[in-house]
A and B are shown apart, each in its own frame.
Chain A
Amino acid sequence: MFIEMKGIAKDFGKTTVLSDIDLTVQSGELLALLGPSGSGKTTLLRMIAGLEWPTNGKISFQGRDVTNISAKDRKIGFVFQHYALFNHMTVAKNIAYGLRVKKKQERMNKKDIAKKVQELLALVKLEGYDDRYPSQLSGGQKQRVALARALAIEPSVLLLDEPFGALDAQVRKELRHWLRTLHKQTGVTTVFVTHDQEEALDVADQVVVMKDGQIIQTGSPVDIYESPNSPFMYKFLGGANEFKGTATAAGVNIGHATWPIDNNSITAVGDNMIGFARSHEMELSKEKVTNDQLEVCISSIHPVGPLIFIEAIHQNGEQEKIEVQLSKQIFDEMDIKVGDRMYARPQRLGVFIEDFII
């Protein structure tokens, strides 16, 4: 189902939670709302569900205005972070709930409901758990029951609020792959909220990054990762080395090195610039060959499995730390030791004017 949100704003008393949000969810898409806590992502999701009302703006499903339609009539599936299962009902009763509370003329007969429950149990791989109570299930199993319960009413959109947030890392990883498979199988339009960038990039077709009640960047996981559009995005998506410099005609001047930038339309000569390069986007070499290399001193070496994390200090007025990530193979070939004097250069650099505030 095609969802459109236009000019959405939400105030709780004097605090603004969302301001001027435009968001489109394509039919059949798996979209992630990603952001730090307090960014308004959950409020936005609850608005799609009809559990929260916008102060301003319009929500439409498939072109039909649903802004004032209650959650009861929106036909959405909602999965909560803490499962929200009905603890006094068995797994089967939980899953059947949405089917049993339908109006009499729309309700399936008991046999069909039972059959549907079995299908859903199979879908979430919990065959034989019909008569268990939620308290007898693990976190991962509970969340799968919650998913089956939401899918029972054949929702036109599935909404998940930090669905794996309460689970441990192992189960989390399993479930998110399983969610992707499930999405492929069912094809139902899905929106999920997460604060875990890895989860969003791993699972979603489309990622919407939010901060302070606004959308910062929208794009495919590759877009989002490869071309962050602001310093915030670099910092939020796992961190990066930060370089401060000045814009020149040739590019950006940092220490004694000059790095070319491709997008010079954003700068004027003399602007204070800030550049970002991720640790695995850094190169080290023993000799200075080009003038885009920054002289550094290796201060620590920290091997983690096949990767080597290196910290290097760069003297630029004050000391600045640079993190470099190398594969074990390259590291061994280069024979790097603590205290070595080396030259670092970024393969890619994201550059912004320093007072660029977002």
Chain B
Amino acid sequence: MISTNKGQKKVLIGISFLFLTLFLFLPLLLIFIGAFSQGFEVFWHAITEPMARHAIMLTLMVVVITVPLHALFGLAAAWSLTKFRFRGRQFMITLIEIPFSISPVIAGLVFIILYGVHGFFGEWLQANNMQIIFALPGIVLATMFVTLPFIARELIPLMEAQGSEAEEASLTLGAGGGRTFLYVTLPAIKWGLLYGVILCSARAIGEFGAVSVVSGRIRGATNTMPLHVEILYNEYQFAAAFAVASLMSIFAIVTIIVKQFVERKHPI
């Protein structure tokens, strides 16, 4: 501390704490209070009734499809962007971050324009009896767009810092690309990869904007958890809405705990 005395320190910590309480702890607490406001039975019913179960399953399905694909994409992108030098490399790194700065609603609209009935590929899709918008593929695409940077962004700086000497050493020792990746690269980045996977999963579960545009919110068909919460809320079923929301919050809290654990054990 350069010039802060004890008093200033206390005030600053106090302000941070107050801020976190107002904007984080309190709302989180209210979710759980709301969820149980009409008793455990209502809570339990809200998260086990068929429509809710379907929303939960759909959300998990989206995560299961999205996250592994992004793990592969993230590895490939980070590998090519850090181990090779080529023209346009910096531009590609910037490109990967675009989903951070684009509103998810716009991302959803883009997919409607591309794959919707009156969209760019609409006629062709219809002729071939394929549906992307208002169906699982659309939801997956929208989620993938929004969560694209998470794993790649985690891996790029890590692999950049590690350089490619270990890989070169492996190569000179007679190992090919596959073995080098498996024995040298992957072990060196596994914690960073896990960290990225955790963040990516959390975001995929919670994605609302982009998904709400492409899903069509067909209950029991294309309704994900966040969409389900909104519908319940709009139908004045507050307790049920909070119940599903609390389940999502539990996912989020577990994610944070796992992330903390990974971070502490293997600081990146």
Contact = CB atoms under 8 A, between A and B. Distances in A.
Interface of A: 49-51, 70-78, 80, 82, 84-88, 97-98, 101-102, 146, 149-150, 152-153
Contact of A88 (B168, B171, B175, B187): B187
Given A87-B188, A101-B179, A72 B174 contact: yes
17 contacts: A49-B172, A51-B172, A72-B176, A73-B174, A74-B172, A75-B174, A76-B172, A77-B172, A78-B168, A84-B165, A86-B169, A86-B170, A86-B184, A101-B174, A102-B174, A146-B169, A149-B173
B166 interface: yes
Contacts of B165: 80, 82, 84
Can you list the 6 inter-chain pairs with the closest CB atoms, starting with the nearest?
A98-B173, A84-B165, A101-B175, A78-B172, A84-B169, A88-B187
Interface in B169-214: 169-176, 179, 183-184, 187-188
B171 A80 contact: no
A186 B3 CA distance: 61
A49 B170 CA distance: 12
A75 B173 CA distance: 7
B173 A101 contact: yes
B51 to A, nearest CB: 47
Given A80-B165, A82-B165, A88 B188 contact: yes
Contacts of A77: 172
Which of B169, B170, B171, B183 has most chain A Cβ within 10 Å? B169
A70 B184 CA distance: 18
A218 to B, nearest CB: 26
Contact of B170 (A50, A70, A97, A102): A97
A77 B173 CA distance: 7
Contact of A78 (B169, B175, B184, B187): B169
- B interface: dominant SS: helix
Which of A82, A86, A149 has most chain B Cβ within 10 Å? A86
Interface residues of B, number: 16
Contact of A71 (B171, B179, B184, B188): B171
Contacts of A98: 173-175
Contacts of B183: 86, 97, 101
B188 A97 contact: no
A224 to B, nearest CB: 29
A149 B176 CA distance: 17
A49 B176 CA distance: 15
B178 to A, nearest CB: 10
Contact of B172 (A71, A82, A87, A102): A71
A229 to B, nearest CB: 34
Contacts of B187: 86, 88
B171 A84 contact: no
Contacts of B172: 49-51, 71-72, 74, 76-78, 150
Contacts of A101: 170, 173-175, 179, 183
A70 B171 contact: yes
Contacts of B168: 51, 71, 78, 80, 84
Contacts of A84: 165-166, 168-169
A80 B169 contact: yes
A78 B174 CA distance: 11
B171 A51 contact: yes
A70 B180 CA distance: 14
Interface in B222-255: none
A51 B164 CA distance: 11
Nearest to B87: A13
Contacts of A51: 168, 171-172
Interface in B36-58: none
Nearest to B166: A84
Contacts of B179: 101
A88 B191 CA distance: 12
B184 A72 contact: no
A144 to B, nearest CB: 15
Given A77-B172, A84-B168, A85-B169, 19 more contacts: A71-B171, A71-B172, A72-B171, A72-B174, A72-B175, A72-B176, A76-B172, A78-B169, A80-B165, A84-B169, A85-B166, A86-B170, A87-B166, A101-B173, A101-B179, A149-B173, A150-B172, A153-B173, A153-B174
Nearest to B162: A87
Contacts of B188: 86-88
Contacts of B170: 86, 97, 101
Contacts of B175: 72, 97-98, 101
Contacts of A85: 166, 169
Interface in B136-175: 165-166, 168-175
Which of A51, A102, A146, A152 has most chain B Cβ within 10 Å? A51
A260 B176 CA distance: 62
A310 B1 CA distance: 50
A142 B157 CA distance: 25
A188 to B, nearest CB: 14
Nearest to B173: A98
A86 B167 CA distance: 9
B265 to A, nearest CB: 14
A149 B168 CA distance: 13
